[in-house]
Amino acid sequence: MDKRELLQQWYQRVWLEVDLDAIDELFTPDTEAKGLLPDFAAGPDDFRDLVPMFLELIEEPTFSLDKVMEEGDWAAALYSLSATNPANGQQVFGSAQLFARFAGGKMVETYNSIDFMSFFEQMGLLPEQSMYLCLTGQKIRG
C-alpha cells in the first residue's frame, strides 16, 4: 500500500468512521504528531481523546487529500476539511499540511500545520477577521 493510501485510510477510518482502533494500525506506539498545538506532540492515546472532541464540534465532515508528494520514507500532503456547523447549519472549511515519515506501513513521525484560526472563526468561536485584528496589533476580544 502506498503512502497516499495509508493517509487516505487515516482520514477515512479514524476521522470519518471514528474507528479509534485504526490508530494502532496506522501509528506505532511511539509515533508523535507534532504541530497540532504549540509545545504538544500527540501520540496514539491523545488521538483517542482528540478525534471525538473535534468531531463533537461539527457534523457531516469530509476530508480531501488535495495534493500528495512521496519521496522515500516520506510523504507530504495538503488536505482539506469540509463540514457543517451544527449551531447554524453553515458549511465550514479547513486546510492543513502534513509531513509524515513511514516505516512498516505505519506513520512513525508526523509534522502538521493546520489553519485553526480560520476554522474556529467560521465556527463562531473567534471573532470575524481575527487574523486581521492580530496583524494590526489588536487583542481578540469575545
CA 86, chain centre distance (Å): 19
**pLDDT above 70: residue 110:** yes
Specify the pLDDT at position 142. 61
CA distance 18 to 52: 7
pLDDT band at 141 (very low <50, low <70, confident <90, very high): confident
Per residue in 21-49, pLDDT tens?
A: 999 999 999 999 999 888 889 999 999 99
- Which H helix or E strand runs over 61? strand 59-71
pLDDT tens readout for residues 44-101:
999 999 999 999 999 999 999 999 999 999 999 999 999 999 999 999 999 999 999 9
For the cut 80, the answer to whether the pLDDT of residue 126 exceeds it is yes
Which pLDDT value is given to residue 106?
Answer: 97
Q: What is the CATH number of domain 3-115?
A: 3.10.450.50
Q: What CA–CA distance (Å, rounded) separates 52 from 136?
A: 35
Return the C-alpha cell found at 94: 479547513
Interatomic CA distance for residues 42 and 110, integer angstroms: 10
